[in-house]
A and B are shown apart, each in its own frame.
Chain A
Amino acid sequence: DAGITQSPRHKVTETGTPVTLRCHQTENHRYMYWYRQDPGHGLRLIHYSYGVKDTDKGEVSDGYSVSRSKTEDFLLTLESATSSQTSVYFCAISGTSGSYEQYFGPGTRLTVT
């Protein structure tokens, strides 16, 4: 398995609270991605990064922000969690180009009550 971890793996939080999910890689890959997975929607891209401090929005970025201050870490923040953000969140990394093979982390199951 690619050296990619996510923390926490499970989290329950209340509506209106901020939440930060962490993705950590040991592969020194340039590209990192945050997806959410919901029944009937497959994986949808939230934000991605193409280098330290270089990030861009994906398909469903509203309500989320990201930061990447080091190559190995990519943080996803839900500024004020809502029930619609209950989902499974996956981080992925890619080396040469994000358009090629992506390696996925184990996922974080987030429940917003």
Chain B
Amino acid sequence: SQQGEEDPQALSIQEGENATMNCSYKTSINNLQWYRQNSGRGLVHLILIRSNEREKHSGRLRVTLDTSKKSSSLLITASRAADTASYFCATDITGGGNKLTFGTGTQLKVEL
């Protein structure tokens, strides 16, 4: 089974609304990252949060991490049509070596 599971699998909102997606994981991590993938393209790194951090911001993105619940959330504020994409969380598992484990993703659609 996947280390990271995003929720919801799909999300449809109107432009200007906020979008929240969640990621749960199973084992201890060093950091958690979020990536975006536009249709037909490779993934693009958005933000990294370390295990000793609780919240991080980057522009319209806000990421939280709760290690006690083994979960993270990505909030996109004031969404735009250009935010339409799939979003993946990826975890650097403690003792897992120099690699990431990706979740199955949330498909976000932002409608005009």
Could you tell me if B99 and A99 are in contact, using CB atoms closer than 8 angstroms? yes
B43 at the interface (CB under 8 A from A): yes
- Flag if B33 contacts A101 (CB, 8 Å): yes
Distance between Cα atoms of A77 and B82 in the complex (Å): 36
Would you call A74 an interface residue if the criterion is a C-beta within 8 Å of the partner chain's C-beta atoms? Answer: no
In contact, B42 and A45 (Cβ under 8 angstroms): no
Q: Which residues of A have CB within 8 Å of B25?
A: none
Chain B 1-28, CB-CB to A under 8 Å as 1, else 0, gives 0101000000000000000000000000
Q: How far is the CA of A104 from the CA of B44 in the complex (A)?
A: 7
Give which listed residue, B31, B42, B92, B99, contacts A90 with CB less than 8 A: B42
Residues of A within 8 A of B88 (CB): 42-43
| B residues 27-79 in Cβ contact with A at 8 Å | 30-31, 33, 40-45, 48
Determine if A99 and B42 form an interchain contact, defined as CB atoms under 8 angstroms apart: no
- Is B85 close to A, CB under 8 A? no
Q: Whole-angstrom distance between the alpha carbons of A33 and B102 in the complex?
A: 13
Chain A: number of interface residues, binned into ranges: 20 to 34
User: Which residues from chain B contact A56 at a C-beta distance below 8 Å?
Assistant: 97
Q: Report how far A35 CA is from B35 CA in the complex, Å.
A: 15
Note all chain A residues with C-beta closer than 8 A to B98. Answer: 31, 48, 50, 94, 97-99
Complex Cα spacing A56 to B96, Å: 12
B42–A107 contact, CB under 8 A? Answer: yes
Please name all residues of chain A whose beta carbon is closer than 8 Å to the beta carbon of B92 when the two chains form the complex: 99-100
Q: Are the CB atoms of B102 and A106 closer together than 8 Å?
A: no
Flag if B41 contacts A42 (CB, 8 Å).
Answer: no
List the interface of chain B (C-beta within 8 A of A).
2, 4, 30-31, 33, 40-45, 48, 88, 90, 92, 96-105
* 10 other A-B residue contacts (CB within 8 Å) besides A43-B102, A59-B101: A42-B4, A42-B88, A42-B104, A43-B43, A45-B101, A48-B99, A98-B100, A102-B43, A102-B45, A105-B42
A-B pairs with lowest CB-CB distance, top 9:
A104-B42, A98-B98, A99-B92, A42-B104, A43-B102, A104-B43, A101-B45, A42-B102, A106-B42
Query: Can you sample 13 A-B contacts with CB below 8 Å?
Result: A41-B2, A41-B104, A42-B4, A42-B102, A43-B43, A43-B102, A44-B102, A45-B99, A94-B98, A99-B99, A100-B92, A106-B42, A107-B40
